[in-house]
């Protein structure tokens, strides 16, 4: 049986599309088993057949915990091995995270631990950074602060605007997400305690994907170089 992936989305869904495309072209040996959203009208949901969609507006629930419970109850029958937050803009509560911890991944558009939260591209420019990037991490109860798995970096160019930076980073984000999912679905990646492990080795620093899609040897645990 192929590893099963569910994806949580709130918006455009370009990362979801990267997963769909990678599965379709054989770059990712996995099955997409569900796409779940807190935004019933989001474009991302339109990228998959109705049968794969679950959505509900949080307004219909008394509180965050009730929405999270419904989201979790929808995920259980999908039997996902991995749950990917790909542009999922709602904070997940502790109970939800505890229910799925170890299989919950998030992609965030910054070189974490820098710039948790929103408006990362603008904040990079305001700070005058010369480098920007994206990170994939396990989700834990702290916003964008779970165990880091991998990153990709790009240069900030003179004249960059937040939009220019965001759109240049996006293709790299997609590449990073698929590269991490390849490791995850191959059974090479897991979370233990507060750390991420690859092939049984703790990732003391995040893996680095270069812009040609190769893992940088120096970023791999010594025994895997
Ligand atoms: C991406 O930049 C992702 O890193 C962030 O939100 C954006 C979502 O884009 N969390 P998309 O919906 O996957 O196109």
Residue 184 parent element (H or E): helix 162-185
Which ligand 1 atom is the nearest neighbour of the CA of 109?
Answer: 4
Which of 108, 121, 132, 174 does the annotation list as catalytic?
A: 108
Six-digit token string for 182: 């390849």
Six-digit token string for 195: 């750390």
Sign, Cα dihedral of 54, 183, 221, 223: positive
pLDDT in tens, 137-150: 999 887 778 999 99
What is the reported pLDDT for 100?
97
pTM of the model: 0.97
Residue ranges lining ligand 1, Cβ < 6 Å: 11-15, 44, 86-87, 107-109, 173
Mean pLDDT by 10 residues, the chain (225 residues): 97 98 98 98 98 97 97 98 97 95 97 96 98 97 88 97 98 97 97 94 95 91 82
Which residue's alpha carbon is nearest to atom 9 within ligand 1?
A: 87
Query: pLDDT above 90 covers what percent of the chain?
Result: 93
Q: Which residues contact 64 (CB under 8 A, 6 or more apart)?
A: 58, 91, 93
Contact 152/176 with Cβ under 8 angstroms? yes
Which ligand 1 atom is the nearest neighbour of the CA of 106?
Answer: 10
* Pairing between β-strand 195-198 and β-strand 189-192 as defined by DSSP bridges: antiparallel
* HSE, side-chain direction, 13 A CA sphere, residue 159: 0
* Distance from residue 109's CA to the centre of ligand 1 (Å): 7
């Amino acid at each position: 049986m192929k590893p099963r992936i569910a994806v949580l989305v709130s918006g455009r869904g370009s990362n979801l599309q990267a997963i769909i495309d990678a599965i379709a072209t054989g770059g990712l040996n996995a099955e997409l088993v569900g796409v779940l959203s807190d935004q019933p009208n989001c474009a991302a949901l339109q990228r998959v057949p109705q049968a794969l969609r679950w959505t509900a507006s949080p307004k219909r629930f008394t509180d965050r915990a009730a929405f999270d419970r419904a989201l979790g109850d929808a995920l259980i029958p999908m039997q996902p091995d991995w749950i990917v937050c790909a542009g999922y803009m709602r904070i997940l509560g502790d109970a939800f995270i505890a229910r799925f911890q170890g299989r919950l991944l998030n992609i965030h558009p910054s070189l974490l631990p820098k710039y948790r939260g929103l408006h990362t591209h603008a904040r990079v420019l305001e700070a005058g950074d010369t480098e920007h990037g994206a990170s994939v991490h396990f989700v834990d109860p702290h916003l964008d602060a779970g165990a880091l798995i991998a990153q990709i970096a790009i240069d900030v160019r003179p004249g960059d605007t937040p939009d220019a930076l965001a759109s240049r980073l996006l293709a790299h984000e997609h590449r990073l997400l698929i590269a991490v999912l390849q490791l995850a679905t191959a059974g090479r990646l897991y979370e233990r305690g507060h750390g991420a492990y690859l092939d049984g080795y703790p990732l003391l620093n995040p893996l680095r994907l270069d812009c040609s899609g190769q893992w940088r040897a120096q970023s791999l645990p010594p025994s895997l170089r």
